Structure 1
């Protein structure tokens, strides 16, 4: 299961990115041949609305959703029940706010923009609008740990959340390119900034995977642990130690 969880995000990227890049190159070639006659410049009002739309989608799928994923991953090694509940509630709150922002962006795009769905940005956006509520709704029906449906629920919730986050990130890049074509404004700075942000998120995602392993290796302190290991501590002593741990 852990191997599958690590491979699925990269599989999505490997499958989707080549098609996006090739299609984008074809679109650029067509635009160059026609002199961009089919892409008239947006009015100042539409430019402002497109900017707000992009900010809403970035705040939701480019920031809040990845941060929510990082926060819930912190609960894997959390033993204090109070802190565990806090992490779960923060994760849920971030995801709910993210869904609401995406919904607001969807309403804005349907109301104000021409939706011909003839490019990747609009098609991906339509798919995201259709499934954005599923992980949130599934999250409210979380089975108790140890029940039969817990594994199925966890995998479904995880795969939907991961797919949405990856598709949202890809759609932000396609949205920046669409904004550039429509407004003739450079988006290089925003693309670089967003790439740096996503790189940090990916780094922390991978770092979380190895943090416990690094601690066990004694790399943080530079020395091997001198105290007894978990295997050497009796269950009674371990239970007493956890009960005394401040939360």
Structure 2
């Protein structure tokens, strides 16, 4: 909801402050993204209860739509920088490098946090419910050998899409 409020505030400020004839790609994409953000918010409010038949389809649509909005939003920043360069003849190289560094570091941190638990555990899988149990070191795992439900195998990380299609 915070993102919708910030986007709405930005859209209002943009319409009041700038010349918005929607005659360039950046402005058209921005308008489409603004509408898509509201559609995404409405999709989030119309979420079916867990266990409902429509939940899987809803989840997939909400996830893919949100991912597309994020990717197109990032691309729109670059089109905005190019529109600024075209209008003012100023260099946007510094801003392009800074934005690329920001997006790259955010993507790295996002992917890193997804694998952080897996890297910490690198452990053992329980046969019951596929739960991951961390192994501190070799001595601890040797002491736990009497627990017959554990074995050494790589554990697959269960993600949202895998859950969706199981």
**What TM-score, normalized by structure 2, do the two folds share?**
0.67
Residues 1:216 and 2:142 are matched in the alignment: no
Cα offset for 1:159? 1.1
Cα offset for 1:162? 0.8
Alpha-carbon distance in 2 for matches of 1:185, 1:222: 56
What residue number does 2:64 align with? 159
Equivalent of residue 127 in structure 1, options 32, 40, 43: 32
Alpha-carbon distance in 2 for matches of 1:124, 1:231: 58
Structure 2 matches for 1:6-155, cutoff 5 A?
96-155=1-60
Residues 231, 111 of structure 1: alpha-carbon distance in 2 compared, 3 angstrom cutoff: farther
- Structure with greater proportional strand content: 2
Alpha-carbon distance in 1 for matches of 2:103, 2:95: 12
Residues 1:182 and 2:87 are matched in the alignment: yes
Structure 2, unpaired ranges of 5+? 124-133, 151-166
Q: Note if contact 2:121-2:135 (Cα within 8 Å) is conserved in structure 1.
A: no
The number of equivalent residue pairs is 136
Cα offset for 1:170? 0.8
What residue number does 1:173 align with? 78
SS of residue matched to 2:21: coil
Alpha-carbon distance in 2 for matches of 1:106, 1:180: 21
What residue number does 2:97 align with? 192
Greater RCO, CA 8 A, separation 6+: 1
